[in-house]
Structure 1
Amino acid sequence: MIMGGHWNLLPEEIIRIVYEYLSFRDIEAASQTCKSWYAVFLDSSKLQNIMEFVVHQEDSKTLAALSRLPSRCKRITFKNISLEFSGAEGEKIFSHWKCLANHIKYLTFIKCNMNERTIGNLLSYCTSLVNLTIDDSDYPFMTGRIFSESICNLNNLATVRRLEIQSSQYLSDAILMRISNIMPNLEHFSLSGDQITFHPAIWKRFYPSRQNFKYSDSVLTFKIVQNIIELRSETLTSIDFSRTQIGSDGLIALCKIPDLKLTVLNLEGCKNISQPGFEAIFSDQTGIIDLNINFCSNITDSIFRDICLRLERLKKFSFRKVSGITLCGLECITLLKEVRYLDMGYSDIFHDRQTQIVREKSLSAHLTHLDLGGLAFGQSFLKLISAQLKGLQYLNIQSCPVNDSMFAEITSNLLKLNVLKVAYLSISDQALTGVARVVASDEVDNKSDVQNRSIDENRHRIPLGLGYEEVIKTQARRKRVLKKTLETLSPDVAGPSLNNLKRLKELDLSHCVLVSDLSLMFAFKFFCLKTLSIAKCNITDEGLESLVAQPMPLNRTIEELDLSECTGITDRGLCKLLPELKRLRKLKLAGCIGLTVKTIETVMTYCPQLRCLDVSGCCRIPLESCYSLRDALPLLRIVQQGTGLLVCNPPLHFPAEGPQNGDQHRRFGP
């Protein structure tokens, strides 16, 4: 038995076993215990496949960032940086990169200002690369020479299985053919948001004859894309054409390619696809298990019915904001017996009969992710799905007509929820605390009215002229009466509350204006809550203090907290809250007009792990105090204040050395 806190004496085998039972963030926090725990953390092969290291600095700091990377890291992202291998500094960066590149499997470039030679040099040493993503980075493609043999030899990229070139304006046929030649084993191919030309006249303009055929450096045509997919059809199983101009003709040609057996197809935002294009999918690509048709405006009942009938292996189906489906098409959704992920948010397809449909045929018992955001369903429907889908782990019902009694069905049946999003709902403290079934809303109103009549002594007072004055007074009276009820109510009598959801990791209650401090006092007792949003709720300092007044370790695992537009909170509440949230990484305080410089001082003292801070609209916090955060919080990435956006020394996510023995608060990144 290890006594006295000598955790560094534990054998590595025991530490590895402990890590097996923890989530990634918990393992990261545990690795700060001492140097030996940190060494096991970096050495774990399981964690090496999960950890992602982000480098988003300028040239002068990139060398320091790369030098602090663990030698066996497998995921690296370059974001918003300019990098060149020129001069003495560039040679040092290049030498560090050679030591890292052999182990890298996932490499991402996001909005990077690098030339084609720099990217070529980076890739030439990545002998184990599996996933390559170049997103919104136009500069390397401008000259048209990227991936060419005149730049560097990239035959080592034959190991790449997943290629994503997204939001590029300068990707051309010639570049794409070079990519195809050096990456012959592609399984996933994404051209999301790229400017692909489908019109035959453009093809004739750049390729007038078949003689002296030369791939163009100026245009990206669908025929060349099709040829590349044909060449790699034996290995390709996943294609992403989201946010492109692909139409039915292009989709038909794609599906007719011999030996192409797709399992994943992303057509999000492709508004030119109609019935013939989907017919090609149903006849030639029946093995699809992941289909995304979000924002496709040409979806009709017949298309939707065929999707449910003929794509029998479908496990992930997204049709968000699809307005062409009626109740006749919706009836077929119960035919998807293998579906695990269902996103139908904002589709405006619900009707009074949807409850009868689900009752008679029922949804898939395997469903774990359900997004119903913005749908106008009734109480009977929510009661029915909460009884049928007790294995649900993700539920989004934001902007839905859900009241207190309907919310009680969730807290009583869906006990395995990890993520619950209920923003913009008319639920109150009575639903969250579990007294909605015990004490009716009108009963609380009656008690508050009686209390008001006994207190109101001056009936001839002059009103302030505020139209919202009576509403404010009524809410205060309701809160006072409900608090007294909760303090005297026995736990055996109370109904299901938010505390029933023991596995909850993410909770979004933003813009639920009827939620007040009482919910934080009586309904927030979570062991593993990571993300909490109570923006624009009726929260004051009393609620924030009660959130961390619970015994350890309740509510101490919060990493992202959104308190935007909670005008009732002041420095006092945050001074009590922030010292208890050791893992806090993201804090939003936009529009909290009661905060002053004292809050910034509290953040500097007690939030060493903070990455992002938003204090826009906090009129009493001067810009100068935000600048002082740069030196105090070396891990802080973004500070937003007013209309300005300060980028504060965004470092690499891990240091070269781990925490010292006994040092419980060593600062390092995610």
Structure 2
Amino acid sequence: MEAETHKNLPICWDMIFDKLNNPSDRDSISLVCKEFLSITNLIQESLTVFSPSINVLASLLRRFPHLKKIKLLNFQGDLNRAFHNLGSTMKNLKILGCSRSSMKDSDLVKIANFFPQLEEINISDSYFPHIVDSKIIAVTDEGIEFLASKLKRLRKVVLSGNRCISDKSLISLSLNCPFLQHIVAGYSTNITECGISFLLRNSPRLTSLCLMAHFKIGSFGVENSINFPKHLVSLKFVSLNISDEFLHSVAKAQIPLTELTLSFCKSYTFSGISSLLHSHRYLRSLALLGAEFLTNEHIDYLCQFLLNLSSIQLYCCPLLSDSAFVMLSERCNLLSRLEIGYSCVGSEEWNNVRPLKNLAIRSLNLSSNQFLGSANLRKVQGIFPNLEKLNLSKCFQGTEMLDVADILDYSHTVKSLELNECRQLTFSREKAKVSKLEKLVAKYSGINDEVLAMIGRNSPRLLYLDLEDCENITEKGVKEVIESCKRLRYLSLSGCSNVNVDVVEYIVDNEPSLRRLISPSCGYPEEEDQIYLLQDCLVTRGVDYEEFI
């Protein structure tokens, strides 16, 4: 009986560990013993690998034999060998990402043959053609047509940045993939309104459409709701010319739209967007970026249609100020995410204004508001007592200091804080309350060793720290954080010119929880696939800024 119970234990552990959704929880369990490590390896279903070599990829595939989702980011090795390694053990792979990997048609043929069960694929490119021996390496319509003809179960396809595809690719996908639900395309001058119209008319299951750059949307060939897929819930347009006529046609169509993004799109006006919002009052997510015509008065009028929103992004709308901010926080009671960036928030006086508290908002983005000062920021924090994410990037770039201690004290629930390009940072209280901070992103900021050390001492839960191009940081501040934050999993020191590369070995030896470290040097490690295997920490080179000159 005892022997039989012991025999069934692995099955029990498998079921228990499978319920752990947080990767850090599984990592902690895997450190207990070899048996637990083996079990967590077997139940791992998702893997993201940054710039992997063939040898590293092969090692990871042996370790995690039951993967269903793999993302290879910026893979520059032999794709033929990579797909052969994957295909030999991963016939049931469902999701494959190969973004920014210099792919060509022959690679798509291998994908289609090796992974017949594939449901999602990301082959987005870097928007610039890859030239090898005077030949352009690119995905074309022929590759997409073969892929579509073989992978009948495809539900999601990301094609953005592939400049050599045309309407033919969209037609092939819509005709050959009956389960197609989500497509992302753009940055190709050969994709036209005709191709998109065909896709809409012939993809009855389509739920999400994302289009980027280089063409104009007039009526879209859509004159009535019968030409819209009846399940379409998400529209995202980036850098397109969109007419009010098209927005009016969406307003008239009886589609269950819940998500709308117009990012730096031109030609549409308040008439078009107000018509659409009036007809889709159950919208859950709205993003209007670069809508320079929007005013506080417009927001006052639109609020009546936004009562069901859970997320709103209003970025680069320079006519919006504190009044619009307060109206949205008071009237949209279901909002959990609020972003008003690159506007005039902070330019109005709050002396006689006492906004109602909003208990729902968890994420607040006020980046690039040059008028925002400490006094107004403190009042803003008082409105949102349950705030978990706060983004103040590109604020406090003048002479006024931003006190990080105040932020963590007044918003004691904050877990994620972004301070990119905030030049004036201080930490005024040595005995500040212990914060719940788990993520700090302070790229290109004025953070120094003293502030960094104080943040580390008051943030023992810190998991993620990005200090890219922080010139005031030295090894002293980095070592202070390593001593204080024993849960740290990600650390970027890329471009930190005053941090000696010798600190890399110290970090790896003294931070066993670390899984990813980006070196302060663009030349170290010397070998691109150099890994500190004993601590399971991937160390990669920092950014070589001269490549972008």
Indicate the TM-score class for this superposition, using the shorter chain for normalisation. 0.7 to 0.9
Residue 562 in 1 paired to residue 442 in 2?
yes
Query: 1:390 — aligned with what?
Result: 333
Residue 75 in 1 paired to residue 17 in 2?
no
For the structure 1 residues 70 and 654, does the alpha-carbon distance in structure 2 shift closer, same or farther, using more than 3 Å as the test? Answer: farther
For 2:186, what is the secondary structure of its paired residue? coil
Write the letter of the residue equivalent to 2:342: S
Cα distance in structure 1, aligned partners of 2:392 and 2:162: 34
Query: 2:313 — aligned with what?
Result: 371
Residue pairs, 1:495-644, within 5 angstroms:
497-498=381-382, 500-513=384-397, 514=400, 516-517=402-403, 520=406, 523-527=409-413, 529-533=415-419, 535-542=421-428, 545=430, 549-551=432-434, 554-555=435-436, 557-562=437-442, 564-566=444-446, 569=448, 571-579=449-457, 580-588=459-467, 590-593=469-472, 595-603=473-481, 605-606=483-484, 609-614=488-493, 616=495, 618=497, 620-622=498-500, 625=503, 635-640=515-520, 644=522
Cα distance in structure 1, aligned partners of 2:236 and 2:385: 30
Query: 2:7 — aligned with what?
Result: none
Structure 1 unmatched ranges of 5 or more: 1-10, 80-109, 197-219, 435-495, 657-665
Query: 2:200 — aligned with what?
Result: 255
Residue 229 in 1 paired to residue 150 in 2?
no
Query: 1:90 — aligned with what?
Result: none
Preserved CA contact (<8 Å) 2:69 2:93: no
- State the structure with bigger RCO (CA 8 A, min sep 6), 1 or 2: 1
Cα distance in structure 2, aligned partners of 1:499 and 1:17: 40
For the structure 1 residues 17 and 157, does the alpha-carbon distance in structure 2 shift closer, same or farther, using more than 3 Å as the test? Answer: closer
Residue pairs, 1:3-402, within 5 angstroms:
24=22, 27=25, 31=29, 34-35=32-33, 42=40, 48=44, 51-54=46-49, 56-59=51-54, 61-67=56-62, 69-79=63-73, 110-116=74-80, 118-138=82-102, 141=104, 145-146=106-107, 157-167=115-125, 169-196=137-164, 222-223=167-168, 225-232=170-177, 234-245=178-189, 246-257=191-202, 260-269=204-213, 271-277=214-220, 279=222, 282-287=225-230, 288-297=232-241, 299-310=242-253, 312-332=255-275, 333-351=277-295, 353-358=297-302, 362-375=304-317, 376-402=319-345
RMSD: 4.3
Structure 2 unmatched ranges of 5 or more: 1-9, 130-136, 540-549
| TM superposition shift of 1:40 | 11
Write the letter of the residue equivalent to 1:587: D
For 1:371, what is the secondary structure of its paired residue? strand
Residue pairs, 1:472-491, within 5 angstroms:
none
Write the letter of the residue equivalent to 1:190: V
For the structure 1 residues 351 and 576, does the alpha-carbon distance in structure 2 shift closer, same or farther, using more than 3 Å as the test? Answer: closer
Q: Which has the larger radius of gyration?
A: 1
Preserved CA contact (<8 Å) 2:517 2:538: no
Cα distance in structure 2, aligned partners of 1:192 and 1:162: 14
For 1:318, what is the secondary structure of its paired residue? strand
For the structure 1 residues 373 and 274, does the alpha-carbon distance in structure 2 shift closer, same or farther, using more than 3 Å as the test? Answer: closer
Preserved CA contact (<8 Å) 1:252 1:276: no
> TM-score, normalized by length of structure 2?
0.77
For 1:382, what is the secondary structure of its paired residue? helix
Preserved CA contact (<8 Å) 1:391 1:416: yes
Q: Would you tell me which structure has more strand in proportion to its own residues?
A: 2
Cα distance in structure 2, aligned partners of 1:373 and 1:423: 9
> TM-score, normalized by length of structure 1?
0.64
For 2:162, what is the secondary structure of its paired residue? coil
For the structure 1 residues 111 and 383, does the alpha-carbon distance in structure 2 shift closer, same or farther, using more than 3 Å as the test? Answer: same
For 1:262, what is the secondary structure of its paired residue? coil
Aligned length: 509
For the structure 1 residues 34 and 651, does the alpha-carbon distance in structure 2 shift closer, same or farther, using more than 3 Å as the test? Answer: farther
Cα distance in structure 1, aligned partners of 2:35 and 2:388: 27
For 1:76, what is the secondary structure of its paired residue? strand
Cα distance in structure 1, aligned partners of 2:42 and 2:351: 42
Cα distance in structure 2, aligned partners of 1:72 and 1:422: 42
For the structure 1 residues 429 and 391, does the alpha-carbon distance in structure 2 shift closer, same or farther, using more than 3 Å as the test? Answer: same
